[in-house]
Structure 1
Amino acid sequence: MDVKVTELVIFCILFALVSVLGFVASRWRRPESMEHLDEWGLGGRNFGGWITWFLLGGDLYTAYTFVAVPALMYGAGALGFYALPYTVVLYPIVLLPLVRLWSVSHVHGFVTPADFVRARFGSSTLALLVAITGFVATMPYIALQLVGIEAVLKAMGVEGKWPITIAFLILAIYTYNSGLRAPALIAFVKDTLIYLTVIVAVIVIPAKLGGWDAIFEAAGAKFSAPAAQAAGSGLLLNANNQLNYITLAFGSALALFLYPHSLTGVLAARSRDTVKRNMAALPAYSFVLGLLALLGLMAIAAKIVPVGADPEAGVAGDRNTVVPLLFDWAFPSWFTGIAHAAVGIGALVPAAVMSIAAANLFTRNIYTEYIRPSASPAEEARVSKLASLAVKFVAVILVLGLDTQYSIDLQLIGGVIILQTLPAVALGVFTRWFHKWGLVAGWAAGMAAGFWMLWTIPNPATKREHFGGSAFKLSELGLDTKWTIYTGFLAVAVNLIVAMLVTWGLRAGKVPDGEDLTKPSDYTAEQGDPKVHDIPELVADGKTSST
């Protein structure tokens, strides 16, 4: 494929613009010193409603939105639309846990969910497991963002892994320099480009294809083919995948705000009320997500062939490229460059926040807890900066080494992992009933069950025998059915059952539990409340003094 020069030039110009913003962000609302995790990792805990809205929107609606969901719609049909109901039910579910977590975190100065678990259950072991889980689950999610950049580069005719490496280096440098302020500032540009691209796409592309009737007719014809029927694909759900669809949507909703990067955006908010307003306003992005998912069906109607595909030989190619190729088919070169930049920049914001969140987990809950308990806030900030570089490096290695035909698998597998922190984190803000060792036992059982189920799942399209998706066949449990279910949903059910049984046993045996360092009033504290944690003043020697 020849390099499309006009598209590539516009893409590079816009990419360079946001990179400059990333470096400028270090001076935006700059405090006297950035050598503190409250400043570098949480933006001073002072983001208002608009900044938080753009930051969370840019963080939650990612390259996965633009690339992976339409790719799944293109390849599997209706099942790929699970992302819309998932984001519809998400915000009512998470509203109350998040505002309570914001309050207790500001009272005590928590930076990570593992900080909260450490104080709530009095267990460094449980906190370590939560930190490791968050770190591991975040890695494939960061890799997914880089897959989005790779997809648009392939569509522009740029082959090889070196462009991703360059993008990684730029992202790493300005994140190291500016911390959370960089993705917060870039999110304004990213969301503007995305809304522009989506509005143009849903007007122009259906008009060129002859309307929505023609789009759904073409998609219906593809999915009515015997091969598609045999693979379980379809324009409508069938009897065997409806349970998987429901549990996938619900399980993904439970998982999203357990990710460290999602909580980082929440903890950076100025007030409890800011969190509430954002949970009410963020569903606006769900409407855009529904339109984006339909791009997969438009690609079918436009007869888009993925990069590297050979239909006659049965080679599927890289389905992540269908949306970039659709833009190339529908738009003039100059606007295609803008659309490609929207996807590329859409990967930068979440990748930056994810790397910061993962680095904070390592610093607070591994380095400071076990390696350097006497580390000063300035040392914590330096270690977190270095850890954020390492996280991005590992993500690049994942992209280089993994088959990412269905890149959404990366996110779904990460969801199975992060769901195992639900009892300790999400339920922990409401109840202290679980025994700390019950939660540890539940985590171990859920992880074992989740990885066993993922191991048994093949993917015929990619010729993988293991880790081929997240739809677990209930027949593997000896049931006489063709139904499938989301692995994460089943794994967290095992987690909860084991945690409850072990807790009952330990309570009956009067086994000592950890000390709860929080109080009920901590969970309702608001900005201006005298109980709310003040960010320490930073002084020259790296020590702190309370304001």
Structure 2
Amino acid sequence: MGFVAAKWRRPTTMDSLDEWGLGGRNFGSWVTWFLIGGDIYTAYTFVAVPALVFGAGAAGFYAVPYTIVVYPLVFLVLIRLWSVSHVHGFVTPADFVRARFGSPTLALAVAITGIVATMPYIALQLVGIEAVLKSMGVNGHWPILIAFAILAAYTYQSGLRAPALIAFVKDGLIYLVIIVAVLYIPHKLGGWGHIFDAGQAKFAKTPDPGDGVLLNHNNQLNYAMLALGSAMALFLYPHSITGILASKNRNVIKRNMAALPAYSFVLGLIALLGLMAIAAKVVPISTDGKPDGNTVIPLLFDKMFPDWFTGVAFAAVGIGALVPAAIMSIAAANLFTRNIYKEFINRDATDKQQATVSKLVSLVVKVGAVACILLLDPQFSIDLQLIGGVIILQTLPAVGLGLMTRWFHRGALIAGLVAGLAYGLYMLYNIPNPAKHKAHFGGSAYKLSELGLDTKMTVYVGILALLANVAVAVIGTVICKVAKLADGIDATKASDYTADEGDPKVHPMELSPQ
């Protein structure tokens, strides 16, 4: 299907980022729904969320409220981003920042931040595939190498059309497996009452006071802040924005923001698989003497399902990794091409040259992702996902707030971004994880006692870093305005943010130095 996608709605040429990287900007409601759903509900989500519930209980359910509140939060913002991108031909969020604030430096910072945050996310799709392979008793990395070689080939040929078409299969399989799981497995285990009792019995024996089937006063604040921070970060990721910009009009986005919470319902069911694994007495596979929690759900499927349906479930996880990995690599490649190559290397690059560079860079990104999973400790790569969320959240003032106001000064936004990244990474570095014998990067929950507060409560690092970012941006803007420092020229106008399909487009802005 990935290769056939090159002929699906085939244009006269694929030699442009509009066609290769955004599918012709012509996806309707159904295609967009499956594309975005396949993009943000990844294989790592299907494996890691229930694994977190298996290990920590109710805290693992944070993914459910965050994928509910995100859609009303971004409803108005995303249609404004689509409109201004439609008018000016923007391909990446950094393109918008470049035009809005007249600053190639700020756009470069946003682009690099997006690429850095996306790379480990691509690598993490392999965690789901590896968990399945471990459960099957397959040793070695050759199946992953083959899978990503095929992924690289059809992405190079078909661009965004490939994951858009495959997403129909991926989402269909996921829905099938989860619906069967929540009906069939509880029946075999003796009902939901027994499942929750088994979970409570396990967590009553754990030393961590935050573990349990209910939240407590120690982890409620972190739960809420993690959900809110993750919601604000989700549509800042370049791959999420790529799915939005591929839509054909504003109404498509509105319908999707209303319909996508259907995935949140399924995500809630997926989280319950963690409690089912406890009741089924699943024991994670150990790697180098350490239990690999990511193998819990594949092992549950292997134990509870007939062999033939276990194969279907494993296939769903595998395809669930390839769809988002393709979109993420395209998004990262577009950022490099538009905001590094065209801006700083070849300002006169033609559409064909840009498309060629993006295709080649998408291959490099995939190779880098495979290298991450082959060379790094998988536990460390999982920690990188937490770092990725904190990192991408720091682009909120420039991208998210920039869509609503032009008040901020470009220099202050750069200072805020740097401050947020520095403070966020500093806090992450100082979070230990005694259970895994780690002194640094042990999670994303920062103790408020480190800030001088007399409490055992923790809070999500991303929120604290974002507050520092916004504070620096606001104070810096005031100082810059008082000092009358030169600011960039806004290449957009008010009507650009309400334009719709059929409205006239303008010639893409010329990249003049500021």
Structure 2 residue corresponding to 1:263, chosen from 230, 241, 248: 241
Q: Which residue of 2 aligns with 1:210?
A: 190
User: Which residue of the partner structure matches residue 483 of structure 2?
Assistant: 509
Question: Does the residue aligned with 2:401 lie in a helix, a strand or coil?
Answer: coil
- 1:114 Cα deviation (Å)? 0.2
Deviations 1:130-157 (A, max 9, x none): 0000000001111111111111111111
Q: Are the equivalent residues in 1 in contact too, given 2:387–2:425 (CA < 8 A)?
A: no
The match for 2:172 among 182, 186, 192 is 192
Aligned counterpart in structure 2 of residue 254 of structure 1, from 222, 232, 240: 232
**Which of 264, 267, 272 does residue 286 from structure 1 map onto?**
264
What SS does the corresponding residue of 1:451 show, helix, strand or coil? helix
Of the three residues 35, 40, 46, the one matched with 1:66 is 46
Does structure 1 conserve the Cα–Cα contact (< 8 Å) formed by 2:16 and 2:352?
A: yes
Change (3 A) 1:236 1:403: farther
- Which AA in structure 2 matches 1:338? V
Among 189, 199, 222, the alignment partner of 1:244 is: 222
- Cα distance in 1, alignment partners of residues 169 and 47 from structure 2: 19
Partner of 2:205: 225
Partner of 2:304: 330
Aligned to 1:343: 317
- Say which of 23, 42, 60 aligns to 1:43: 23
1:320-399, aligned counterparts within 5 Å?
Answer: 320-399=294-373
Inter-partner Cα distance in structure 2 for 1:193 and 1:95: 28
Structure 1 residues 443, 71: CA separation in 2 closer, same or farther (over 3 Å shift)? same
Whether 2:253 is the aligned partner of 1:275: answer: yes
Give the CA deviation at 1:478: 2.4
- Partner in structure 2 of residue 3 of structure 1: none
Give the structure 2 partner of residue 84 of structure 1: 64
Equivalents in 2 of 1:206, 1:407: separation in Å?
A: 33
> 3-state SS of the aligned residue for 1:472?
strand
Q: Is residue 297 from structure 1 mapped to residue 275 from structure 2 by the alignment?
A: yes
Cα distance between partner residues in 2 of 1:192 and 1:406: 32
Per-residue deviation at 1:396? 1.0
Partner of 1:34: 14
Aligned length, in residue pairs:
508
Distance 1:506 1:459, change over 3 A: same
Provide the rounded CA distance (Å) in 2 between the counterparts of 1:457 and 1:162. Answer: 35
- Matched residue, 1:146: 126
RMSD: 1.4
Q: Report what 1:11 is aligned to.
A: none
Q: Secondary structure at the match of 1:233?
A: coil
The residue number in structure 2 matching 1:543 is: none
SS in 2 for 1:391: helix
CA deviation profile, 1:169-220 (whole Å, cap 9, x unmatched) = 1111110111000000000000110010011000010001100011000100
Q: Deviation of residue 228 (structure 1)?
A: 4.0
Q: Pick from 46, 51, 73: which aligns with 1:93?
A: 73
Determine the C-alpha separation between the residues in 2 that align with 1:348 and 1:463: 32
Query: Alignment partner of 2:358: what SS?
Result: helix
Structure 1 position 66, deviation (Å): 0.9
Gaps of 5+ in 1: 1-20, 535-547
Among the aligned pairs, what percent are the same residue? Answer: 71
Distance in 2 of aligned mates of 1:469 and 1:490: 14
SS of 2:467's partner is helix
Shift of 1:162: 2.0
- Between the aligned partners of 2:265 and 2:506, the Cα distance in structure 1 is 36
Q: 1:120 aligns with which of 86, 91, 100?
A: 100
SS in 2 for 1:373: coil
Matched letter for residue 75 of structure 1:
G
AA paired with 2:296?
V
Q: 499-508 or 462-471: which moved more?
A: 462-471
SS where residue 461 of structure 1 aligns? helix
Kindly indicate whether the alpha-carbon contact (under 8 Å) linking 1:319 and 1:405 is maintained by their aligned counterparts in 2.
no
Output the TM-score relative to the length of structure 1: 0.91
The whole-number CA distance in structure 1 between the counterparts of 2:506 and 2:485 is 33
Output aligned runs, 1:457-476, within 5 Å.
457-476=431-450
Q: Amino acid of the residue matched to residue 231 of structure 2?
A: A
Give me the whole-angstrom Cα distance separating, in 1, the residues matched to 2:507 and 2:392. Answer: 28
Give the Cα separation in 2 of the matches to 1:397 and 1:477: 37
The residue number in structure 2 matching 1:424 is 398
Q: Shift in Å at residue 226 of structure 1?
A: 4.2
Question: Displacement, 1:533?
Answer: 7.2
For residue 263 of structure 2, what is the amino acid of its counterpart? Y
Letter in 1 for 2:292: D
Cα distance between partner residues in 1 of 2:53 and 2:307: 25
